[in-house]
Structure 1
Amino acid sequence: MDLARKEFLRGNGLAAGKMNISIDLDTNYAELVLNVGRVTLGENNRKKMKDCQLRKQQNENVSRAVCALLNSGGGFIKAEVENKGYSYKKDGIGLDLENSFSNMLPFVPNFLDFMQNGNYFHIFVKSWSLETSGPQTATLSSSLYKRDVTSAKVMNASAALEFLKDMEKTGGRAYLRPEFPAKRACVDVQEESNMEALAADFFNRTELGYKEKLTFTESTHVEIKNFSTEKLLQRITEILPQYVSAFANTDGGYLFVGINEDKEIIGFKAEKSYLTKLEEVTKNSIGKLPVHHFCVEKGTINYLCKFLGVYDKGRLCGYVYALRVERFCCAVFAKKPDSWHVKDNRVKQLTEKEWIQFMVDSEPVWEELPSPASTSSLVSLVSQSCRLREYINFKIQPLRYHLPGLSEKITCAPKTFCRNLFSQHEGLKQLICEEMGSVSKGSLIFSRSWSLDLGLQENHKVLCDALLISQDKPPVLYTFHMVQDEEFKDYSTQTAQTLKQKLAKIGGYTKKVCVMTKIFYLSPEGKTSCQYDLNSQVIYPESYYWTTAQTMKDLEKALSNILPKENQIFLFVCLFRFCLFVCWFVYFFLR
């Protein structure tokens, strides 16, 4: 295994924080593989789990691994089955896991495939892609709350997207709600604004009567709770993030704690020091809430916390916790969005800023081109990549080449590169004819280095690579070399994995895809031998093998998107040469 690949795998093997998710290093697949450890599977088996916390943790690990792969170009999850005698076809997966998948995905079969392989369970994950203008990233929970009549509810991905786009369009909103013209008072007409006004009057009172009944109820702007004194601090700490987020993202509101279900004022007993602690907890909790601004002012969350005295026959017997939250200018999260991806070879949670950028940005995120070591290598990359782009787009027909002895339906490209290659290596020409014998229709796209085209490091011991896109099988990446004792499996696997990820993340390919690899040794005498064939080593779900004429067109279109753009690279070359000229000119005249 080469050093670069070892470093790549070593980084991937690190666990993601406290989660039991790691990158599987011992895989034959040209895929990003996440290992989630031991998991109990099957509806009945999961129901019988005595440790409810363990069941929840397993669900979170699997769900977050699915989310990370959806946002990272796809791959598959490897889980060791905890319970003996498990059978996928008899026992299923488990309703809690299925519900987590359904809550995350618009249609589970479009993204996930399940397969049991002995004592291991695999979940194959297609990259996140929506052909409509929906959310641009997979999310378990937006952590953005809103008020729905009398409830604080987390926004689903679609609602969050609409909320964020409205904020982006208007550049935030005013803290104060717009005032409407005064209406003539009607005795029998009651509106929500009446309840809010009564809650405001209640908030401004200095004394409350024990067992006094409220004159208003819960509404969009009012939430009422009653906790025992023993758990008061804990419960307020737990509920504050979601209620503050909900009120701030809607139109503001009031939280009152110390009122029972019959709307009677009960209050809670507390010393002054305890009230000070409650106030400090409130300040710290609200201060930690993640916010994202679309406005210029970038204000903070406005709130006021009070303790209203409860009196029984003139004697102070307790307090009501009262919190008023103003509506916020932009977006307030209860916590970081529960959305994950693989970055820097680790499974990481998206920050609210990253998540909003992915959600709101309707255009695909184009990765930066690799930085070549010199302008000569840059020009070489331009020349090769532009020829491939032109061929794939079918803009220049002469670039298409039919190898004698092959079906007219099989095309090799680029034409000049192929002719020179076959004339120098007769064994390669014969090998291609044999390999393509079972292919009814396809394109074989040669490159000096597909690894270099994809922004990876070139292996100078590789003669060339060729990518087969056919109507009969998944894409196959061929690697040809003439160094007998060299190991090229890691090079080929990493290139194929990167190709697959870029087809989805950059190329815009929306269907399920896998890239097989095949490595051939060419001897100086022209003899050839197959050193590695991934197709004989791995098994994919049936849906990954379905290919059609439309699949070919979609893959070729995606390929044309992931190759470097001519104008971008030549602009870099021109600027570099111009800078060299200026430096030479200044040096010559200042000498």
Structure 2
Amino acid sequence: MEANQCPVVVEPSYPDLVINVGEVTLGEENRKKLQKIQRDHEKERVMQAACALLNSGGGVIRMAKKVEHPVEMGLDLEQSLRELIQSSDLQAFFETKQQGRRFYIFVKSWSSGPFPEDGSVKPRLCSLSSSLYRRSETSVRSMDSREAFCFLKAKKRKAKILEEGPFHKIHKGIHQELPNSDPADPNSDPADPNSDPADPIFQKDYLEYGEILPFPESQLVEFKQFSTKHIQEYVKKIIPEYVPAFANTGGGYLFIGVDDKSRKVLGCAKENVDPDSLRRKIEKAIYKLPCVHFCQPQRPITFTLKIVDVLKRGELYGYACMIRVKPFCCAVFSEAPNSWIVEDKYVCSLTTEKWVGMMTDTDPDLLQLSKDFECQLSLSSGPPLSRPVYSKKGLEHKKELQQLLFSVPPGYLRYTPESLWRDLTSEHEGLGELINKQMQPFFRGILIFSRSWAVDLNLQEKPGVICDALLIAQNSTPILYTILREQDAEGQDYCTRTAFTLKQKLVNMGGYTGKVCVKAKVLCLRPESSAEALEASMSPMDYPASYSLAGTEHMEALLQSLVIVLLGFRSLLSDQLGCEVLNLLTAKQYEILSRSLRKNRELFVHGLPGSGKTIIAINIMEKIRNVFHCEEKRILYVCENQPLRNFISHKNICQAETRKTFLRENFEHIQHIVIDEAQNFRTEDGDWYGKAKTITRRAKDGPGILWIFLDYFQTSHLDCSGLPPLSDQYSIEELTRIVRNADPIAKYLQKEMQVVRNNPSFNIPTGCLEVLLEAEWSQGVQGTLQIKKHLTVEQIMTYVADTCRRFFERGYSPKDVAVLVSTAKEVEHYKYELLKAMRKKRVVQLSDACDMLGDHIVLDSVRRFSGLERNIVFGIHPRTADPAILPNILICLASRAKQHLYIFPWGGH
């Protein structure tokens, strides 16, 4: 993106995007008096700001006017705004207010979905111009955003059909087999002399002055006469319209030097043009045209340029130009689209590639891979910057989570979470009275407390803030209160920045499509002055009444977007799918993450298999960074195996090491430690728990964080783990809901966990397995569990290869598959046989789990795959030296599979 010179002014006391476009002449009569160049320049500034705000979550355009009294905007500005949103209903997205010499336009975020007028689908972006042209009979037409959206979707769909069609499975180079065809229409080659009357003329090396061409202008033919002056500039001007129009609409011919009415060849006198220079100019103009591909060959635009002699009574009179344009496979633009977005506090123009990517962005094809997910937020109905959100089937929908966490009570104002409200009022005398006084005007809604809303929004915590509270109340705009211990000039900046971030996330992450703002208000518990409320000085104007929440439906819709903001996390599917996808935490996961880190510096999180321990570990490290204002290098993540360590390292949120490295090295710079899969730790190299406690307690300003995640059911050894006795794990949270695995896999896990509970190995503490009695499973997730007995190694490998091939034909990829064996030594034992079977079936190569993000099938041991997951898992000959922990190993194996699990027992047992 290229930064424009119009900065976005995010005012220190204003929690919204505010674009200051300077002085603008307003009023219909006043604007008519302006010179056209000035009128157009002012309109361009306003329209760029409007487009950028529509595409960036909404905001406010501020402009200065020359008069104090109220004045209308002006018909040309109003009409341009209507064209931008392609609707006559301006108030759906724009409302205005005036205050003295300031004029404000309040802009609601754009969102996809149907147009209310005719039900057709809205484009994903607003644009002042698409820069896409097409032929319409004998004319060239500019595509508006709606037409461009449909055109690009059709091109992308056809490219995908070609790529995935039956011929593609045989020859990936299908495009190379059809060199003269348009992928959109294989029969549209205009160069076929039997169906193309213009071709015989195009094949000629000269034309006669005054001759009448034997065909008229049509969809495939355009006649243009040379301009009498500035010939090369004229040609350079028309090329970006006519050549893309032909390329985007089945191809055609542009004849320059032919009168469009009489069809007479007039050419250009030889003394007025240099044919070689003209050729270079035309070629440069065509090669400069932006082309965007959805297909693999990615060829440039195909054209033939001929500059031919024009003879007059046998003598050279001048020259004519003929350009034949082949149909283009995808999209040709005249220039970059005229579309804008807010980025890094600047209004930026979108590049052609970025614009097309956003316009054609669609929800990932999850259903092709799995029936296990339910869409919570779709790109087809969300704002331009939103990402798709999915929840695992059987888990709470965003509406259910909203009712569970943030229900709107009938007829009164509820404070939540109640436990936090009790803690805050007991810790801070007078807080209850201060809050209650502020809430007197509000009779219905919800006040949501947090020790730091900034941390909840992935911002840094501010010292001196007692708490923040978000008010969602009927007949009010949302209000974010920040309560300070004492007056602090930076408190208003903190509150405003937090409110600004919340507003942006409610739209761009939570997908809220209504009109919304979040006002910022700072309160001081013991103010130095007599004022109890230090309200952040708002702008000299206020938002229109339509920005207030009218009733239950509006409040709940906003709160459901808030659920996505607070409970949304980057899905582990994102890397696999190649696009950003969000999942939602469960209510219990969110409860653990919402704990005060200052009050829970050491915590043991016991989680059943597939309950999301690693997800919480990742999220808690991000929270540690913001609460304690520390860099990533101050946070250490420790696990047993190298593959999980590598997986976490790629996220760049901490330093990640294995247990062995942790015990071997010094970590003088570390302040906080998160330990994962701790049940598989051992004391063979030293006291890891003692070292972790020593490191996190050495800071002068108080202990650091030590959170330990474990699952005794997955204990895969008989040694001492180094964990403190269960009675000494003073602060424990339990995750009892299995959210990862499909129904048949979850039932298998339940059976094997019951075996472990009935006969635990001696190194598992008594009582820790009773958590199984509270276990829950998400119901309704389809999957596969097959246990194949009495197969030889060769039969197993053939079965794995055949099954992988079938899954790949259904749309799965190698990234979905893991083949797990008992030990690292056995990997090499099975690798040769598996590769041999897969080569026979033309299935892809293998790699170990250290590169989880690679496009390959993982072949590794069950223990080394601990903490990771794949959709499809094959377990080959799972066994242990001591049969007592075989059920534990089977639990470790099965819990890695999200959808499909195949187990090949050793010896058929």
TM-score by length of 2: 0.55
Kindly tell me the number of residue pairs found equivalent between the two proteins: 537
Judge which range, 568-577 or 152-161, deviates more: 568-577
Cα offset, 1:28, TM superposition: 3.8
Cα offset, 1:535, TM superposition: 6.1
Cα offset, 1:72, TM superposition: 1.2
Tell me which residue corresponds to 1:447. Answer: 450
**1:513 aligned onto 2:516:** yes
Tell me which residue corresponds to 1:34. Answer: 19
CA contact (8 A) 2:465 2:484 kept: yes
CA contact (8 A) 1:520 1:528 kept: no
User: Residues of 1 paired with 2:657 and 2:326: CA distance?
Assistant: 60
User: Residues of 2 paired with 1:195 and 1:508: CA distance?
Assistant: 54
CA contact (8 A) 1:46 1:94 kept: yes
Tell me which residue corresponds to 1:231. Answer: 230
**1:582 aligned onto 2:658:** yes
Tell me which residue corresponds to 1:87. Answer: 70
Tell me which residue corresponds to 1:143. Answer: 131
**1:171 aligned onto 2:159:** yes
Determine which structure has more spread, i.e. the larger CA radius of gyration: 2
CA contact (8 A) 1:522 1:528 kept: no
CA contact (8 A) 1:76 1:124 kept: yes
In structure 2, relative to structure 1, the CA distance for the partners of 1:573 and 1:443 (3 Å cut) is closer
Tell me which residue corresponds to 1:154. Answer: 142
**1:212 aligned onto 2:211:** yes
| AA matched with 1:425 | H
Tell me which residue corresponds to 1:373. Answer: none
Q: 2:95 aligns with which of 110, 113, 119?
A: 113
| AA matched with 2:58 | G
Tell me which residue corresponds to 2:532. Answer: 529
Q: 1:499 aligns with which of 499, 502, 511?
A: 502
Secondary structure of 1:395's counterpart equals helix
1:263-278 matched pairs, under 5 angstroms: 263-270=263-270, 274-278=274-278
Tell me which residue corresponds to 2:616. Answer: 570
User: Residues of 1 paired with 2:289 and 2:186: CA distance?
Assistant: 29
Cα offset, 1:27, TM superposition: 6.4
CA contact (8 A) 2:452 2:467 kept: yes
| AA matched with 1:523 | R
Cα offset, 1:180, TM superposition: 5.7
Q: 2:46 aligns with which of 62, 68, 76?
A: 62
1:40-439 matched pairs, under 5 angstroms: 40-50=25-35, 52-82=36-66, 84=67, 87-88=70-71, 92-105=72-85, 106=87, 107-132=89-114, 133-171=121-159, 176-177=181-182, 197-260=196-259, 261-270=261-270, 274-362=274-362, 363=379, 365=385, 393-395=402-404, 409-439=412-442
Cα offset, 1:468, TM superposition: 0.3
In structure 2, relative to structure 1, the CA distance for the partners of 1:551 and 1:308 (3 Å cut) is same
| AA matched with 1:77 | I
| AA matched with 1:310 | V
User: Residues of 2 paired with 1:570 and 1:274: CA distance?
Assistant: 71
1:422-456 deviation line (CA, Å, top 9, x unaligned): 12123111122222222111100011111121222
User: Residues of 1 paired with 2:95 and 2:197: CA distance?
Assistant: 54
User: Residues of 1 paired with 2:240 and 2:345: CA distance?
Assistant: 31
CA contact (8 A) 2:492 2:536 kept: no
Q: Over the residues paired in the alignment, what is the CA RMSD in angstroms?
A: 3.3
Cα offset, 1:214, TM superposition: 1.8
CA contact (8 A) 2:305 2:323 kept: yes
Secondary structure of 2:269's counterpart equals coil
Cα offset, 1:233, TM superposition: 0.9
In structure 2, relative to structure 1, the CA distance for the partners of 1:156 and 1:355 (3 Å cut) is same
User: Residues of 1 paired with 2:539 and 2:127: CA distance?
Assistant: 35
Secondary structure of 2:439's counterpart equals helix
User: Residues of 2 paired with 1:368 and 1:456: CA distance?
Assistant: 23
Secondary structure of 1:230's counterpart equals coil
| AA matched with 2:476 | K
1:86-113 deviation line (CA, Å, top 9, x unaligned): 632xxx2222212211111133210001
1:464-479 matched pairs, under 5 angstroms: 464-479=467-482
CA contact (8 A) 1:401 1:412 kept: no
Cα offset, 1:228, TM superposition: 2.5
In structure 2, relative to structure 1, the CA distance for the partners of 1:58 and 1:538 (3 Å cut) is closer
Note the residue ranges of structure 2 that are not aligned, 5 or more in a row. Answer: 115-120, 163-177, 363-378, 390-397, 569-584, 586-611, 622-636, 640-644, 646-655, 665-683, 687-909
Cα offset, 1:147, TM superposition: 0.9
Cα offset, 1:140, TM superposition: 1.2
Tell me which residue corresponds to 2:8. Answer: 23
Secondary structure of 1:127's counterpart equals coil
| AA matched with 1:281 | K
Cα offset, 1:340, TM superposition: 0.4
Cα offset, 1:538, TM superposition: 3.5
CA contact (8 A) 1:400 1:412 kept: no
CA contact (8 A) 1:391 1:414 kept: no
1:396-439 deviation line (CA, Å, top 9, x unaligned): 6xx8799xxxx962111112111111121231111222222221
CA contact (8 A) 1:256 1:321 kept: yes
CA contact (8 A) 2:447 2:470 kept: yes
Cα offset, 1:71, TM superposition: 1.1
In structure 2, relative to structure 1, the CA distance for the partners of 1:590 and 1:450 (3 Å cut) is closer
Tell me which residue corresponds to 1:382. Answer: none
| AA matched with 1:346 | Y
User: Residues of 2 paired with 1:573 and 1:503: CA distance?
Assistant: 19
In structure 2, relative to structure 1, the CA distance for the partners of 1:117 and 1:165 (3 Å cut) is same
In structure 2, relative to structure 1, the CA distance for the partners of 1:499 and 1:254 (3 Å cut) is same
Secondary structure of 2:277's counterpart equals helix
CA contact (8 A) 1:29 1:538 kept: no
TM-score by length of 1: 0.83
In structure 2, relative to structure 1, the CA distance for the partners of 1:536 and 1:165 (3 Å cut) is closer
| AA matched with 1:500 | K
Cα offset, 1:154, TM superposition: 1.6
| AA matched with 1:269 | A
User: Residues of 2 paired with 1:446 and 1:574: CA distance?
Assistant: 19
Cα offset, 1:546, TM superposition: 5.3
1:534-574 deviation line (CA, Å, top 9, x unaligned): 56954222322352221111111110111143358426369
Judge which range, 23-32 or 273-282, deviates more: 23-32
Secondary structure of 1:171's counterpart equals helix
Cα offset, 1:328, TM superposition: 0.9
User: Residues of 2 paired with 1:81 and 1:112: CA distance?
Assistant: 18
Q: Which has the higher contact order (CA 8 A, sep 6+)?
A: 1
Cα offset, 1:85, TM superposition: 6.6
CA contact (8 A) 1:400 1:415 kept: no
CA contact (8 A) 1:414 1:446 kept: yes
User: Residues of 2 paired with 1:312 and 1:524: CA distance?
Assistant: 95
CA contact (8 A) 1:207 1:308 kept: yes
In structure 2, relative to structure 1, the CA distance for the partners of 1:353 and 1:275 (3 Å cut) is same
User: Residues of 2 paired with 1:429 and 1:131: CA distance?
Assistant: 44
Paired-residue identity, % = 37
In structure 2, relative to structure 1, the CA distance for the partners of 1:293 and 1:219 (3 Å cut) is same
Note the residue ranges of structure 1 that are not aligned, 5 or more in a row. Answer: 1-14, 182-190, 370-388
CA contact (8 A) 1:195 1:216 kept: no
User: Residues of 2 paired with 1:504 and 1:253: CA distance?
Assistant: 45
| AA matched with 1:572 | I
